[in-house]
Amino acid sequence: MSEEQKSKAMADIFRESFDIKKGIKEAYQKASRQALNREQKIKTIFEDVFHRQPTRKEFTTITNQFSQRYQQSMNTCPLFQCSNMIKELRRQVKFIFLLSLENTREVKAIAKHCRVARYFDEILGGPKSKVENLQHILNKYNFQSAEVIYIGDAHSDVIASKKVKIKVVLLGKKHTYEKLKEDLEADFRFSSLCDLPKDLFSSHKK
């Protein structure tokens, strides 16, 4: 589920549940650029649009509805169409991890449903941030930053990787991501996971 799809889903939830028709999509996109997890994004949207924190009922309603939409979208396995490349990465490197800003339980369930969970040493998500999860990996496995490459397709992925000083591969079509690559100084850019060169991780072989 892309950030654009997520922002539209969030806007739809606010419109259907609270009859709020303006400002949500833009507020979500702004929050996304800060590499926030789902819970933090919802609170940021309320601060930007309503200038207050959400009530517990509001927070629960939005979280549950977004969770349902996220899982429905991801159950078609759109991010795992290049499963052969995931297998190839597993063969080339000693460790491979799946990180997300979405709820950890949901991400694990989707990875299992899409039959790729077995390729990952750990699957990590919210409520922890990507920076926290990356730092966890570096510390737990005693990695040096130079030994790790992060692959992502969002603004938040580049930000998180730079905060922990690891190289990042940015996925996305040229017309969408060329300026983002330039602005954020992504180390590599490819159209999709399927387009990764097989020798990219040659220095990380077992």
Q: What is the pLDDT of residues 39-87, one digit of tens each?
A: 999 999 999 999 999 999 999 999 999 999 988 887 777 656 667 778 8
Alpha-carbon gap, residue 14 to 26, rounded angstroms: 13
More confident residue, 156 or 25: 25
Ranking 14-18, 46-50, 182-186 by mean pLDDT, the lowest is: 182-186
Alpha-carbon gap, residue 59 to 42, rounded angstroms: 7
By DSSP bridging, strand 167-171 and strand 188-190 are parallel
Contacts of 111 (CB under 8 A, 6+ apart): 80, 98, 117, 120, 123
More confident residue, 141 or 101: 141
66 Cα distance to chain centroid:
15
Alpha-carbon gap, residue 56 to 34, rounded angstroms: 23
* Structural tokens at position 69: 């939409």
What local confidence, expressed as pLDDT, does residue 175 receive?
39
What local confidence, expressed as pLDDT, does residue 206 receive?
43
At 192, give phi and psi (nearest 5°): -155, 170
Residue 176 corresponds to which amino acid?
A: T
At 106, give phi and psi (nearest 5°): -65, -40
What local confidence, expressed as pLDDT, does residue 173 receive?
64
